[in-house]
Amino acid sequence: MELALAQARLAAAGGEVPVGAIITDGAGQVLAAAHNSVEAMRDPTAHAEFLALAAARAARGEKYLADCTLTVTLEPCVFCAGAIAALRLRRVVFGAYDPKTGGVEHGPRVFAHATTHHKPELIGGVREGECAALLKDFFAGFRHA
The set of catalytic residues is 49
Phi, psi of 32 (to 5 degrees): -160, 150
Among 49, 48, 41, smallest CA distance to 68 is for 49
Residues 6+ apart with CB under 8 A from 24: 30, 31, 68, 69, 71
